[in-house]
Amino acid sequence: MHGSIWVYRLYDVAQEIDLSRAGRILAAKKPVVSRLKLSKVHPKALEIKNPPLTVELERCTLRIRNKEFPVFPRGRAYDFGVLSVILRIQLPENLKYGELRKLAVSINESKELENLFTTYRDDLLEALGPALIDAGISGFVEDFTIFFFERWPHEWDPVPLLLGEADKVSKDMRRETLKNQFSYSDDRTIITWDAALVCEPSGSTDVPDLLEFANAQLLELRYYDNVLDRELAAMYDAIAEAGKGGYRRLKKYREIMRQMMELVLDVTEITEKVQNALKVTEDVFYMRVYTAALKIFRVQEWLRSIERKIEVIERNYTMLSDELVTHRFLLLEVAIVILITLEVILWFWAP
């Protein structure tokens, strides 16, 4: 039983990462650096516009429940500003199911695990510094766990592992947990909100890579949804403040409108980039897995939330634009009245 537990932390660390430059930097420091490429799919069946950069990190050990486990860490950088750290915890071949179940619960409570994530993340950020555009840890993090096996004994119950629960779960919860299952031949994949079981006899990591990509997209959409929340609140405050400035408010309105359009353009550009970062075009199985992951992670809901907020900004832009147009017409009418008045006065004064 070649098995391992892959624990993920994905961080928003920059507006953008120059992957070409990052590759050159890491190649001089790390032994293994590569671009993501799925192994069991035809190149034309899947399109990754700018494949994320993968780097193998220094191995270590992790102590859980008084046992030492070898850890094979990996880092991955996405061009839209996400940095992923994966700790692949190797399991002993003679591990019993009861031990695995306890381990699944203990992993979620391990402080040493979080310290490892922080250490690897900070080391990568320091190394990648020149390749980061508008760098800064935003505080947005996604976590995910994959139980990866080449063989899964039929008598083993995956539900407690996926839920990280030591107690017995209800039939409804079991049915809900197992409803997203996929299989192509002798493989098996079960996806939940924050965990997955992947049994792949060939050892291919294609499915974990797809799930990680979906999590990276989710993270960025969550981040930009929060950006819009902040900017909307600031926009309302700015409009209210500008409204107290008499005729000077018009100049402030123009500045607010300029900021609105810049924000809409920036967010629209990055969300389109995130959405189009990966496209499964011909492989039906990978399409089902990837589409299901996006649905389970509620990616479309975050997209709709972003779209609604952009619509609010556009409506406010239109409102301010209408007020500026109204003011221009008013000035034009006043100017016409003044000109007519002057013309009448000049007519009366004419000899």
Q: What is the pTM of this model?
A: 0.87
**What is the rounded distance in angstroms from the CA atom of residue 143 to the CA atom of residue 158?**
19
Segment 79-120, tens digit of pLDDT: 999 999 999 999 998 889 999 999 988 887 788 899 999 999
Please list, residue by residue across 113-137, b when 16 or more beta carbons sit within 10 angstroms of its beta carbon and e when fewer do: beebbeebbeebbebbeebbeebee
Which residues, other chains included, contact 44 with Cβ-Cβ below 8 Å and sequence gap of 6+? 281, 282
Q: For 237-318, where are the E strands, in sequence order? A: 278-280
Segment 191-236, tens digit of pLDDT: 999 999 999 999 999 999 999 999 999 999 999 999 999 888 888 7
pLDDT at 232: 84
Q: What is the average per-residue pLDDT within 124-130?
A: 93
